[in-house]
Amino acid sequence: MTAEDYNDCVRQYADGLYRFMLKSTRQVEDARDLVQSAFEKLWEHREEVNASKSKSYLFTIAYHKMIDLGRKNGRIEFREFLPDQIATERGPTPRLRQVLEEALDRLNEKQRSLVMLKDYEGYSYEEIGAITGMNSGQVKITLHRARVLLKQYLVSVENVI
C-alpha cells in the first residue's frame, strides 16, 4: 500500500479502532496509545500489507497489543469505566442502549471483544477468528453465549423496570 492508502486508512479506520480499543480497555490513554502503535506498525509494513487487508491488519495488531497490555497491567477493572464519558461522546441515549452498555460491561474480555467486532465492525465469524486467533466455530460459540447473557440481562432489567 502507498502512503496515500495509509492515510485513507487513518481517515476510515482510526475512529473505529479507537472505539474498539476504548470499549475494550476503558482507558482513554491506553486506547490512544494502542491505536497509534497499530498505525505505526502499519506504516512500517505498508509495502507488505494489501490495502484491502489494512483494516483487519490494524484490528489484529491492536487486539493483540491490548491483550499483552492487559496481561502486563493485570485484569482491567470494567467498573472503572466512566459511563458519563460515553454519554458525553454519544449524547443522550435511550434507556435500552444504556442498559445494553451495562450488559456489555458484564461480559468477559473475549466475549466483549467478539461482540464489538461483530456489531461495531460487522466482521464475519471467520474474520473475527483471524483477528483474535480463534477458529470460526469458537467464535460462533463464544458469541452465542455472550448474546444469551446480554439477553438475560436485558430481560432482567426490563422486569425490574
Q: Interface residues with another protein (CB under 8 A)? A: 3, 6-7, 10-11, 14-19, 22-23, 32, 35-36, 39, 43, 86, 89-91, 96-97, 100-101, 103-104, 115-116, 118-122, 124-125, 140, 143-144, 146-147, 150-151, 154-155
Name the one residue in this structure whose C-alpha cell is 479502532.
17
Nearer residue to another protein within complex by CB, 48 or 71: 48
Q: Closest approach of Cβ 23 to another protein, in Å?
A: 8
Nearer residue to another protein within complex by CB, 32 or 71: 32
Nearer residue to another protein within complex by CB, 74 or 122: 122
Nearer residue to another protein within complex by CB, 71 or 110: 110
Q: Return the C-alpha cell found at 21.
A: 480499543
134-156 as b/e: b if 16+ CB within 10 A: beeebbbebbeebeebbeebeee
Q: Closest approach of Cβ 138 to another protein, in Å?
A: 14
Render 62-114 in DSSP notation, one character per residue. Answer: HHHHHHHHHHHH-S--GGGS-HHHHHHHH-S--HHHHHHHHHHHTS-HHHHHH
